[in-house]
Amino acid sequence: MINGIVNVLKPTGMSSHDVISQLRRMYNMKKIGHAGTLDPLAAGVLPIYLGQATRLIEYGDSGIKEYRAEFALGLATDTEDLTGNVVAAAAVPELTMAQIEQVLASFRGDIEQRPSQYSAINVNGVKAYKLARQHAEFTLPGRPVTIYELQLLRYAQGRGILHVTCSKGTYIRSLIRDLGEALGTHACMTYLVRTRAGLFGIDEAVTLEDLEKEPLAYVLPADMAIQGLRKVTLSPEKCAFLLQGRPVPFSGKNLTHEEILRIYNTEDNLTGIARFDKEHHVIRPHKMFADVL
């Protein structure tokens, strides 16, 4: 079994699941997953996890994301992007880039965002977008997100381009929806490119066409996505104890309680993910790999 990560450049028109289906065929394996769903309208970086690396998705998907987003003022759609049905229209005020920039300032930093009804958030075990397509009535609560950077790159005649650097869980189309309201009109997203997802950038992403030619040439080490976690190297004996589900003693002078760690053996192979118990000065196993990665 192949264990690793592929930084795929998802094209417009395909769902994230479509990309997974293609890679399952290329690698002739079922155990494949992705981090950070991209809608069919969107293109860009889509990290794909192969084999045992799928167990690292929850950690690899916690990094900062970067996007370039195009928007149009004056229209609101049910999906908050160009693929949906128009539900409202309004006049577009005469706006300069400087005026829009003033409004953008209120969206930077820690904000609360109401996700799109057509998001992949689970509502009682059902994806929100499935309920929305069934015209079911439900409310998604606001959630805290962080907008690290928000720049207006271009604007003319009601259309513009934004550069966004944000935390996991941020919905760019919802950000554009709220921007339209703050500008006294409506707005919907017309195109989106994810240029970065954690350590994975668009410049290093591989197209499906190139991947088809040499699928093994683009498989990255499984631990590339978790470089943000503190690295701890342990003896083979301690690694064996962790694999058996047993805690091992560790001083951890500079570690915080319950800090998540990436554990390596002395040969520098990833053996798993563990947590540091500061109260008892031990490392407790969390996700260990029988086969080192």
Q: In angstroms, rounded to a whole number, what is the distance separating the alpha carbons of residues 177 and 255? A: 41
What is d(CA 64, CA 71) in angstroms, rounded to the nearest whole number?
22
Q: At what angle do helices 172-182 and 97-104 cross, to 10 degrees?
A: 110
Angstrom CA distances, 221 to 29, 31, 34, 262, stand at: 18, 16, 15, 14
249 Cβ neighbours under 8 A, 6+ residues apart: 281, 282
State how beta strands 187-197 and 159-166 pair. Answer: unpaired
The distance between the two most distant Cα atoms of the chain, rounded to a whole number of Å, is 70
d(CA 186, CA 207): 35
139-145 LR contacts (CB < 8 Å, sep 24+): 140/114, 140/115, 141/114, 142/112, 142/113, 142/114, 143/112, 143/113, 143/115, 143/169, 144/110, 144/111, 144/112, 144/113, 145/110, 145/111, 145/112, 145/113, 145/169, 145/170
Which are the catalytic amino acids?
39
Name residues whose C-beta falls within 8 Å of residue 144's C-beta, 6 or more positions apart in sequence.
110, 111, 112, 113
CA gap 32, 50 in Å, rounded: 5
